[in-house]
Amino acid sequence: MNPAAILVVGDVNSTIACALVAAKKQIPVIHVEAGLRSFDRAMPEEINRVLTDQISDFLFTTELQAKDNLVREGIDEEKIHFVGNVMIDTLHQNLSRAIPAATTFSRNGLPAVFSGNPQSFGVLTLHRPSNVDDPVVLRNLLETLEEVSRHIPLAFPLHPRTRQKIDEFHLTDFLNLPTLAILPPLGYLPLLGLMKDARLFLTDSGGIQEETTALGIPCVTLRENTERPITVDQGSNTIVGQDRTRILATVLNILAGRGKAGRIPDCWDGQAAWRITAQLRTVFNPDFVAPAAMAGL
């Protein structure tokens, strides 16, 4: 039986691939997390976002500004629906199951400075090509983060791409610092536990900017732009790029109690999937999708 529609989420390559197949087969495309823009076409995800939105029939947005982006690109307003953030639905549903930081540290044999006590450590993730594929840029960031770790120890779940580049560029000495704890890539629940208990988060990830905003954790984003501006305008996120002075100043402000508090954006309440379900049921057969299935997005 042919599907009534194809629902795709986010901006990865499989998102645009599934959307293209559906559009060419004249199957309606539903895009969750539509309208996010970094305005940086050097990011592969940006191309995926723009193209997926252009061929979608239902566009569900996480923030109000996304509608402005879509309308500016010629998308019919009637296709656009502000519902909130399904990633925050997932966070709310799993927060009680998060693996405590102390457990993750103990399992990985970290030194005593990484006790896992709340607020006693920061977390670092780093994986974007713009940060790790250039040896000069990567060295500068690692030197900067070494300096940060003198003020607060950093747990560093190491992405395979980043590890490969560190090895390739002969920067492995940075993996042996006593205040920069190297962890293997972590699943969602251990990472959520680190995030929940951390004093701050340094990252170049888009999703982590949203999750830290939802939790009120100060986030220092090691990029020059973000497709999630609401995390900066309303949330706890600060964009610092690769500039050592900006990174250190932002971290020291946070540690001195002068970091961004922010607030939780509208409709980031764990109910986005239910709103999506309600909207789809007005168009498709009431049995098109069960609420329980959608709530797990």
Confidence band for 285, pLDDT divided at 50, 70 and 90: low
**Does the structure show a pLDDT above 80 at 139?**
yes
**Does the structure show a pLDDT above 70 at 6?**
yes
pLDDT of residue 287: 57
Rounded mean pLDDT, 126-142: 96
pLDDT of residue 290: 45
- Three-state DSSP at 131 gives helix
Of 53-62, 137-146, 168-177, 283-292, minimum mean pLDDT range: 283-292
pLDDT of residue 11: 96
Active site residue 127: yes
Rounded mean pLDDT, 203-227: 96
Cα separation values, 126 from 26, 104, 178, 239, 290, Å: 39, 19, 19, 14, 37
Cα 42 from Cα 51, distance rounded (Å): 14
pLDDT of residue 286: 60
pLDDT of residue 1: 67
Sheet holding 219-221, edge to edge: 180-183, 154-157, 122-124, 200-203, 219-221, 237-239
Of the options 3.30.565.10, 3.30.930.10, 3.40.50.2000, 3.40.50.150, the CATH number for the domain spanning 6-84+267-295: 3.40.50.2000
CATH tag, 93-255: 3.40.50.2000
Rounded mean pLDDT, 91-116: 94
Rounded mean pLDDT, 242-246: 96
Residue extent(s) of CATH 3.40.50.2000 domains in the chain: 6-84+267-295, 93-255
One-letter amino acid for residue 189 of the chain: L
Cα 260 from Cα 148, distance rounded (Å): 18
Report yes or no: 227 and 45 within 8 Å, Cβ to Cβ: yes
Residues 6+ apart with CB under 8 A from 39: 46, 225
Mode of pairing for the β-strands spanning 200-203 and 219-221: parallel
Question: What share of the chain in percent tops pLDDT 70?
Answer: 95
In 3D space, the residue among 242, 209, 215 whose CA is nearest the CA of residue 227 turns out to be 209
Average pLDDT, the chain: 93
**Does the structure show a pLDDT above 70 at 291?**
no
pLDDT for 151-203, tens place per residue? 999 999 999 999 999 999 999 999 999 999 999 999 999 999 999 999 999 99
The number of C-alpha atoms within 13 Å of 292 and in the hemisphere containing its C-beta is 0
pLDDT of residue 20: 97
**Helices and strands (H and E) in the chain: how many:** 14, 10
pLDDT of residue 253: 97
Rounded mean pLDDT, 212-222: 97
Rounded mean pLDDT, 69-83: 97
Which among 81, 127, 151, 159 is annotated as catalytic? 127
